[in-house]
Amino acid sequence: MHSHNHALEARRSDSRRRLWIALAINAAMLAVGVVGGILTGSLAVLADAGHVLSDVGSIALALVAAGLASRPAGGRRTFGYQRSEVLAALVNGLLLVAVAVGVAVAAIGRLGDPPGIDGAGVLALGAFGLAGNLAATLVLVRGKREDINLEGVLRHSVADALGSLGVLVAGAVVLAGGSPIVDPIVGLLIAALILASSWRLIVEPVDVLMEAAPAGLDVEGMGAAICAEEGVRSVHDLHVWTVTAGFGALAAHVVVAPASDRDLIRRRLEVLLNERFGIDHTTLQMEEEAGDALLQVEETPRNS
């Protein structure tokens, strides 16, 4: 368990460092994007800046969650605050949906009467945003991808990079003499990309909060593997869940043959569950198989 905690803390430390770098990059992009969007009159630029604003908020939330998750367990919180990472990822997913809806509504409103935009300015801002987003994405993508908290920020960053690419396209089309309607169309495409990137950030945290088994884990195969161990007769009340990213847990009642060495079987099962299924936080209740005549109830004659 000590090595497991050490691995978790090492992952969180690396994630925090990457998040701070991404926060600095996004703060600079936000300032440039807001000013540039106002000066050029481009919805695509403002939409991209709005997404960057959500990125800044998501990174700040992720940093707070990572800090909370590192706090030691105690009192009523026997697992500590580790699920704060999961909650942060869920909030980030919902924020992405809200941003996508807001951008889509604004874009639809402009489709009928698209205002003129400064193509050269939009093109320059798109190039700046794309460079910044690619830098932030590169920093984040090299982190531990099983960290759903880090993954939430990475999804924001990737969607931003695609949004900046859309801004570049809008600026280039307008600069080449094309219709300014391309700007709200690009805004709609950015909204769709943002919405798509939010899917995992909603589904995975909900699975964790609903006590689902870790993704990709064959629970029936795990039960069969436990029963195949020498001395094991059956297993029941098998529960597998995820506490936070990279921290799976298991509890089960294991029925063993009479006169078996329960401690030896339990240790063998712990090694099996760790090496084959990646679960090293286990609670196994060992039960000896009962004989048919274990409990006999006979009527006692009453004294007359």
User: pLDDT band for position 301 (50/70/90)?
Assistant: low
- Mean pLDDT to the nearest integer, 130-154: 80
Greatest mean pLDDT range, 107-111, 143-147, 268-272: 268-272
Greatest mean pLDDT range, 98-107, 126-135, 245-254: 245-254
- Mean pLDDT to the nearest integer, 167-184: 77
Count of other CB atoms within 10 angstroms of residue 27? 15
Token reading at 257: 């043959």
Count of other CB atoms within 10 angstroms of residue 29? 28
Report domain 219-288's class: alpha beta
pLDDT at 265: 95
Query: Which residue do the tokens 């889509």 mark?
Result: 104
DSSP state of 116: P
**Taking 90 as the threshold, does the pLDDT of residue 271 lie above it?**
yes
Share of the chain above pLDDT 90, in %: 19
Three-state DSSP class for residue 83: coil
**What does the pLDDT look like over 63-76, one tens digit per residue?**
888 888 778 777 78
pLDDT at 69: 77
Q: Where is pLDDT greater, at 96 or 302?
A: 96
CA 213 to chain centre: 15
pLDDT at 298: 53
DSSP state of 277: H
> What integer best gives the mean pLDDT of the chain?
81
pLDDT at 275: 92
pLDDT at 139: 86
Token reading at 289: 């198989």
CATH classification code of 2-209: 1.20.1510.10
Q: What is the location of CATH 3.30.360.10 in the chain?
A: 219-288
Residue 217: φ, ψ to 5°: -85, 130
**In sequence order, which residues have a C-beta less than 8 Å from that of residue 98 and are 6 or more positions away?**
54
pLDDT at 13: 78
- Mean pLDDT to the nearest integer, 206-235: 91
pLDDT at 4: 54
C-alpha 138/C-alpha 150 separation (Å) is 13
- Mean pLDDT to the nearest integer, 186-204: 81
Q: What is the location of CATH 1.20.1510.10 in the chain?
A: 2-209
**What does the pLDDT look like over 39-51, one tens digit per residue?**
877 766 776 677 6
Q: Identify any residues that bridge with 282 across adjacent strands, giving them in sequence order.
A: 250
User: pLDDT band for position 257 (50/70/90)?
Assistant: very high
Query: Which residue do the tokens 């274990």 mark?
Result: 294
pLDDT at 273: 95
pLDDT at 295: 47
pLDDT at 1: 46
pLDDT at 236: 94
